[in-house]
Amino acid sequence: MKNLSKILVALTLAGSISSCVVVRPGEVGVKRRLGQLSERVYEQGAYPIFPFTTVMLKTPTRTVNMEVNLNLPSKEGLNINSDISILYRIQKEKVPELIETLGNRYETIISSVFRSAAADVCAQYMAKDMHSGKRSEIETTIAAKMNEHLTERGIAIEAVLMKSIQLPPGLYNSIESRMAAEQEVMRMQFLLEAEKLEAQRKVIEAEGDRDAQLILSQGLTPSIIQLRSIEAFLKLAESPNSKVIITEGEAPFLIEGEK
């Protein structure tokens, strides 16, 4: 009986000094017992640990948004200030290795790799390219270059987003002027094309009239002209009004007085 009481006391004491750790959705945990990392990755759930010897190191595996502000070098040697979002996630199967090699301060490594990759990529583009349709190309290239260094460590870069680009004032005004000039050139080209099309339309219309007149003149033989004249005089003769018709002597004529 005394032994049973001792066991119950021991279990109660062990339960009182143990604790429970909850791993939430979107993160995983790795136990570190007496300085040694476990190779097992704990997904969401509740797990008991002995707080005096064991710690649960939790790492997010959902997509994380990391904000960075950086001066980017351009091909012509200008510094372009930009606010940038780096979307990354940790591969859960590599969390033990990541913690062992980089610890929980892996964002410092991501930031360092980003600065190096961004400097290498942006130096190949003109400043105006970062403010134009090539921005997406620059973002994709930076992300690919970062993955070359980080994927093997368990960090996957999903996207690099250049949210704002602040060009030097003089360059910004120059780009605006150039864009305005390009739009004016496009407008003039449109007007020239419209004028050319209108000129072509008039030429085609004139050629059609000419061809019609030519066809008509070729079909008017003396017999047809005489027949048309007789038809015209017959219509005039049907009219009840007085009329005097004078011809050159070859076509029929009709003279009527008042009735």
- Sorted by where each begins, the domain ranges of the chain are 15-60, 64-170, 222-256
CA distances from 115 to 22, 54, 123 (A): 35, 37, 12
Residue 85 has pLDDT above 70, yes or no: yes
Cβ contact 146:114 at 8 Å: yes
Q: How many CB atoms lie within 10 A of CB 96?
A: 21
Percent of the chain with pLDDT over 90: 17
Polymer length of the chain: 259
| Phi and psi angles of residue 29, each rounded to the nearest 5 degrees, phi first | -125, 155
pLDDT band at 201 (very low <50, low <70, confident <90, very high): confident
Residue 99 has pLDDT above 80, yes or no: yes
pLDDT in tens, 106-136: 888 899 999 999 999 988 988 778 877 788 8
CA distances from 159 to 64, 111, 141, 144, 236 (A): 11, 14, 10, 9, 90
Average pLDDT over all residues of the chain: 78
- Which residues are within 8 A (CB) of 117 and not within 5 positions of it... i.e. 6 or more apart? 142, 145, 146, 149
Extended strands (E) in the chain: 19-23, 27-33, 36-37, 45-49, 54-60, 64-73, 79-90, 155-166, 243-244, 255-256
- Does the model's pTM come out above 0.85? no
* Coil/strand/helix, residue 14: helix
- Which residues are within 8 A (CB) of 68 and not within 5 positions of it... i.e. 6 or more apart? 83, 84, 85, 86, 111, 114
**Cα–Cα dist 129/75, whole Å:** 10
pLDDT in tens, 54-82: 888 888 889 999 999 888 888 877 888 88
Q: How many CB atoms lie within 10 A of CB 21?
A: 17
Residue 242 has pLDDT above 60, yes or no: yes
**Cα–Cα dist 207/211, whole Å:** 6
One of 3.40.140.10, 3.40.190.290, 3.30.479.30, 3.20.20.60 is the CATH number of 64-170, namely 3.30.479.30
Percent of the chain with pLDDT over 70: 72
pLDDT of residue 51: 82
Q: How many CB atoms lie within 10 A of CB 121?
A: 22
Residue 259 has pLDDT above 70, yes or no: no
What is the token pair recorded at 222?
């003396």
pLDDT of residue 13: 47
pLDDT of residue 11: 47
